[in-house]
Amino acid sequence: MTAAAKSPAKSPAKSSAKTLATYAVIAGAGLLGPLVLPAFTTQFAFLWVMVTFALTWDVLGGQMGYNSFGNVVYFGIGMYVCAVVQVAPFTDLAEYNSAYGTQDIGLTSLQYYAGLGAGCLVAALVAVVVAFVLGSGILGLRGHYFAICTLGLGIAAGEIAAGIDIIGAGSGMVTPLYPGEIGTRNRFFYYLCFALAVVTFLALRRLYAGRFGLAINAIRDDEDKAEAMGLHTTRYKTIAWCIAAFFLAISGGLVGNIVGFIDPTDVAFAGATFGVWMVLMAILGGKGTMWGPVLGAAIFHVTQELFWIYLLGWQRVALGVLIVLIVVFFPQGIIGWLRERYPHRFGRRIEAASGEAEEPAQ
């Protein structure tokens, strides 16, 4: 673990070899995971979804300093739009939903894959448009006003979705059946989720390396100064939100198909689970860092699965405790902490360290 912290100081050749090795290990694990442990394929798929969650939350929350509690909106939008695009061309949507999933539309393989692809694409586009419209308004708000506004947004979206009859209202919507056996289906979606997480990571890394990354970091450090220097801050903020929305919507489309059933408040606009986890994972790993969200998502997902197994019923309470503990005692996250290379353990002396942790995190 200390090696990761030291790597920036080492010679570029050595560190790039190390990075390559890291990538190779992760790619290998990602590609072989479901083949070695086929029973856990869905859990592995969710691991990559979590990575996508944490990475996209970190665009605003970490790199730009805008805490958003409402990113789950784009996840939900993506899920619904994707499902609608998959179903609507082949049958009457209202009728399909009023049958509560008992109507089998019997898609052929071609129809299914084409529908899924088109669904994810349309979902991403719709989410980007929504993010653009919402963002140009809401992102003019600063600090805590923005945070609480997004908190309201997430809940409102769920409530509204639960009131619209054509997408199944409160009783939810069923996604089309996969034309194949269950094992193939799980593996198929696993690789899609894996690919999405990888693409998200690479795309964000590319973006952070350029002008865009500098701009949003400038907004985080001092928005007024950034504006005075001639940055169109609201434009950059909106673009950042659109990017997050794009990847989140695709993950929403995939998760909708993995779960198979879209409940407006428990699956799609699940503020109390996915919405909270996004924030928690990014902070746990170290917000404002590239690897922090990935690490945070991995650790969180494993912990969460253990919670689910060993704490029957109390897992969500334990999660609440975890959030408070992490935010209060460990706000700089694992990577942030490693960067500072303080050998002390969690607790007492964090007070002095946390102030400095904000700056070097990039």
Partner 1 sequence: MSNLQLLFDAPVLLVQLIADGILVGSIFALAAYGMALVWGVMNVINIAQGEFVMIGGYVTYTLYSLGVHPLLGVPAAAIVLFVLGWAIYRLVIFRVVDRDLFVSLLATFGLSILIQQLLNQIFTSDVQSADSGLDTLFLFDGMVTVPHIKVVAFVLTLAIAGCLVVFLKSSRLGQAIRATAQNARAARILGIDTDRVYAATYALNAALCGAAGALVVMTWVIQPFQGLAYTVRSFMIVVVAGLGNLPGVIVSAFGLGAAENLAGFILGAEFQIAFVFGLLVVVLLVRSHRLKRQRRYLK
Q: Give residues in contact with partner 1 (CB under 8 A).
A: 65, 67, 69, 137-138, 140-141, 143-145, 147-149, 151-153, 155-156, 159-160, 162-163, 170, 272, 276, 279, 283, 313-314, 316-317, 319-321, 323-324, 326-329, 331, 354, 358
Q: How many angstroms separate the CA atoms of 197 and 33, rounded?
A: 15
Q: What torsion, rounded to 10 degrees, do the Cα atoms 154, 214, 62, 285 define?
A: 140
CB nearer partner 1, residue 229 or residue 321 = 321
AA letter at 326: I
Residue 93 contacts residue 317 (beta carbons within 8 Å): no
Q: Which helix (H) or strand (E) holds 174?
A: strand 173-174
CB nearer partner 1, residue 88 or residue 299 = 299
Least distance to partner 1, CB of residue 169, Å: 8
Least distance to partner 1, CB of residue 147, Å: 6
Residue 261: name the closest of 101, 98, 75 by CA: 101
CB nearer partner 1, residue 303 or residue 354 = 354
CB nearer partner 1, residue 140 or residue 180 = 140
Q: How many angstroms separate the CA atoms of 297 and 290, rounded?
A: 12
CB nearer partner 1, residue 100 or residue 329 = 329
Q: How many angstroms separate the CA atoms of 32 and 34, rounded?
A: 6
Least distance to partner 1, CB of residue 69, Å: 7
Least distance to partner 1, CB of residue 207, Å: 23
Residue 332: name the closest of 301, 292, 278 by CA: 292
Residue 179: name the closest of 100, 103, 116 by CA: 116
CB nearer partner 1, residue 120 or residue 226 = 226
CA quadruple 240, 241, 243, 247: dihedral sign: positive
Least distance to partner 1, CB of residue 347, Å: 11
Least distance to partner 1, CB of residue 187, Å: 34
Least distance to partner 1, CB of residue 125, Å: 23
- Whose structure tokens read 């094992």? 183
- Can you say whether residue 270 is alpha, beta or left, with left for phi > 0 and alpha for psi between -120 and 50 degrees? beta
Least distance to partner 1, CB of residue 236, Å: 17
CB nearer partner 1, residue 23 or residue 310 = 310
CB nearer partner 1, residue 193 or residue 281 = 281
Least distance to partner 1, CB of residue 80, Å: 15
Backbone phi and psi for residue 173, each to the nearest 5 degrees, phi listed first: -140, 145
What is the C-alpha R_g of the chain? 21
At what angle are helices 350-357 and 333-340 packed, to 10 degrees? 100
CB nearer partner 1, residue 86 or residue 150 = 150
